[in-house]
Amino acid sequence: MELTHINDEGRAKMVDVSEKNDTEREAIAKGSIYMKEETLKRINDGGIKKGDVLSVAQVGAIMGAKNTSHIIPMCHPIMISGCDIRFNLDFENFKIDIEAITKTVGKTGIEMEALTAVSVAALTIYDMCKAIDRGMVISDIMLMRKSGGKSGVFQH
């Protein structure tokens, strides 16, 4: 497989997508943040001094998706038509599972936006809870599914 972000001189370039057709595209990413049992309980009970952790993480994730091209150097700016963030509190494993679903109609994929959304949600949770639990672990951020475009469907 050829690397498309490298020019003839071996230097980085942004891929030219001007000739590609607009298609419906969707990406689903997930990740987890592990924490102490007490931290998870306090998030669930609204006992974090900085506020409603999951609401702030949800807004942060959406903002992250919208700003992906500003922090990933070769990522194209994309008109995002939808971004949904879901959380599952797992009291058996003391973690929060995060899922991001992003959608667009465009010339290039929206995978990086979904991955960024999950990452920012996890980082926001960490930031809001670090005063009581600096040992939290962000883990397993991955693309679960993507559809649309020339390469079709990818399923993890």
Largest CA distance in the chain: 56
Residue 4 has pLDDT above 80, yes or no: no
Strand arrangement, sheet containing 80-90 = 80-90, 95-106, 23-34, 137-147, 154-155
Per-residue pLDDT reduced to its tens digit, 89-107: 999 999 999 999 999 999 9
pLDDT value of residue 1: 61
Per-residue pLDDT reduced to its tens digit, 28-67: 999 999 999 999 999 999 999 999 999 999 999 999 999 9
pLDDT value of residue 42: 97
Report residue 18's pLDDT band, with 50, 70 and 90 as the boundaries: confident
The reply to whether 74 sits in an annotated binding site is: yes
Superfamily of domain 23-146 in the CATH hierarchy? Molybdopterin cofactor biosynthesis C (MoaC) domain (3.30.70.640)
pLDDT value of residue 9: 86
Helix (H, G, I), strand (E, B) or coil at 88: strand
DSSP label at residue 77: P
Burial of residue 59 (number of CB atoms within 10 Å: 0-12, 13-18, 19+):
middle
The closest of 101, 93, 102, 103 to 139, measured between CA atoms, is 93
Q: Are 129 and 38 in contact (CB under 8 A)?
A: no
Which active-site residues does the annotation give?
127
Show me where the domains of the chain are located: 23-146
- Per DSSP bridges, beta strands 154-155 and 23-34 are unpaired
